[in-house]
Amino acid sequence: MTEKVDKLISDTTAFMEDYPSTYNNNTASTNAALQNLVSMSKCWVKLENVEKKVKDLLSEREVMRSCISNVTCLLLDIIKTKDSMITFTVWNHLAEKLHSVFAMLHRLEGVSPQNSDPKQGGERGFGVSRNKLPKALATPLSRNNLRARKN
């Protein structure tokens, strides 16, 4: 029995001597695992933010494509029309579409949003002079001009 007690005391002493180093190793491993977990959670948050930004940019891209498509259609309408009242209306719609496009570009790329603001006189707000407009758009309407166009 004395041998058993001596062995038990010896095993307990060995365990108590090894316990601090084992405890320190386990604590270090646990701390390293927790640090990895924290860094992974930070990476997940960053990834979610990037995915949200990509989704927002894709949404803005679709809005831009839609506005560009509308602008293209409006430009084609301007080219095809001979009526200055319709042309003026189309120019106003075009100004609205361009304003939203330039505002978005200003926010994304630093493009001046004032490029789309219509000024007095309609077409001058887009940087187009009367000399560069087609003849049907450049000439102001009068009764004589209307009669000449109808003939």
Q: Is the pLDDT of residue 97 over 80?
A: no
Predicted confidence at residue 53, as pLDDT, reads 94
Q: Is the pLDDT of residue 148 over 70?
A: no
133: left (phi over 0), alpha (psi -120 to 50) or beta: beta
Average pLDDT (109-121) is 51
Q: Higher model confidence: residue 65 or residue 141? A: 65
Question: What is the distance in angstroms between the CA of the first residue and the CA of the last residue of the chain?
Answer: 131
* Helices 84-109 and 2-80, axial angle in degrees (round to 10): 160
Q: Are 88 and 122 in contact (CB under 8 A)?
A: yes
The token pair that represents 125 in the structure block: 């707000």
Q: Are 38 and 82 in contact (CB under 8 A)?
A: no
Percentage above 70 pLDDT, the chain: 69
Predicted confidence at residue 43, as pLDDT, reads 96
Predicted confidence at residue 45, as pLDDT, reads 96
Q: Is the pLDDT of residue 33 over 90?
A: yes
- Residue 112 pLDDT class (50, 70, 90 cuts): low
Q: Is 133 exposed, middle or buried (0-12, 13-18, 19+ CB in 10 A)?
A: middle
Least reliable range by pLDDT among 17-26, 39-48, 107-116, 138-147: 138-147
Q: Where are the beta strands (DSSP E) in the chain?
A: none
The token pair that represents 78 in the structure block: 């301007």
Average pLDDT (66-76) is 80
